[in-house]
Structure 1
């Protein structure tokens, strides 16, 4: 019953986003007025485009067509490229999944490990060094962190490229192409990883410190269990629960919101596509991007909620 309630809540939220998505971008601008301001389009061409895209109809008729088309998998056509929005999204999504996915995996492994070792020696020099370092990383804006990495590893010590997914003009295929992409992905992945692991580390440290004060840990120490056994069997599994929630929630935002990092490194993903759509006032593409990002966040919230209930039986009860 609880799973069904969560599914219905997620579906209801997605339905609200679907409706809100349509009116949001019409509240900030009118596609017909944008076409009229284009001096390169004669009046006849403007009228033809408006009629072709259904912009001459009232908003409620447009809304009905929008909902029907969206439910059938048709998100419209881009104003800029005239390609289907679905094709534009599917073309950019793999590049975003690459850097966001790898960064999330690395941060999810390194961040909790750092937080655990800081909390285990809390109050000592190692705890101070690790915690203050993570707090500093967490406070640095991600674009500034990326610029520092560019200055260090692309300019001062020119080891890595500063942008794009491949070398411009490259015709490499197979392993050479994969190696080229991997080299270009190092700095974007490093930027996202450092920003995320700082948050995960601080959360893990707080959870471990709180878990070390629980009665079950004190009981385990009283019966003579070794510290490593207590840490592995009792502290870490319970301390990871809040961190898993943060990781799951962040995943949706990272996938849908890596705009700054992709723009900084000219990475051809969802973030760069969003910038292009904003600059070109490409309303269908913006609607598709907003819907995709929202759906990712909603699905990650649902998956995290279900996973949390599996990890902690008290939630199910």
Structure 2
């Protein structure tokens, strides 16, 4: 498959060691927990221009940070480096950049920045990751905390009119919603796709769709997960929903029904997709290339489906009838997308 001029069919896409597998899929959630904060308590103070966010447009966990960075207008404060959609056993590479080298960090693989932090780093080489540009070392890859810190620690550098994605009065309830969405939906699709037995798969499948049904009910009477405006919770759910029909329905066997067959969730997802900061950060070709080529154990032929037709994402959603304002008291981002 040729994506952005790259032939991904001739690379070694072994993912051995990338996933913790067994009868039931278990995600390794041990991340580098160093934080970038205003007080610099971990040795990394908030400082415009010092850090580089490394993402891949194919990855749902990295996609969260791309969306939040754009919604908050942090482009001038935090630069971004974009890995290609596929990788080998040593993980993500900068093969979309000229010469296959990140123009700021001067490296071919994000692995090099991990090894600058910890030589022979033994855990997963994941995105998103934030790199300290002066030292070339990874500061953190703790994706849930990265976006929360963008909202709370980087306020000084947010654009005028940036929305409040993490309102204090909603944090307790949002934590419960986010935990359920992560466990049962964001990670639930992976538990289906990488189940090691029929029993584990069926259990994961039933849990996933029970919680998608819960979301259908919750979103029937409110425009967004936490009420009348977009929050961090919507960002976290969107990155799974936007990949559902393109990869999770078939590739991960999440096939009770498609997203397009769940009327409330489909309308909700289209509403977000058509909101600046969401759909303009989606690349379906890179998403499909990643899942169908990298997951050799699930798709040894590396054949990437041509469908589904993405034009439905632009159709009217009707969610305005529920009221609310997407950005609350804030405004939509207007600058061009840089990743």
Structure number with higher helix proportion: 1
More strand by percentage? 2
- Larger RCO: Structure 1 or Structure 2 (Cα < 8 Å, ≥ 6 residues apart)? 1
TM class, shorter-chain normalised?
Answer: under 0.3
Structure 2 length normalisation: TM-score?
0.23
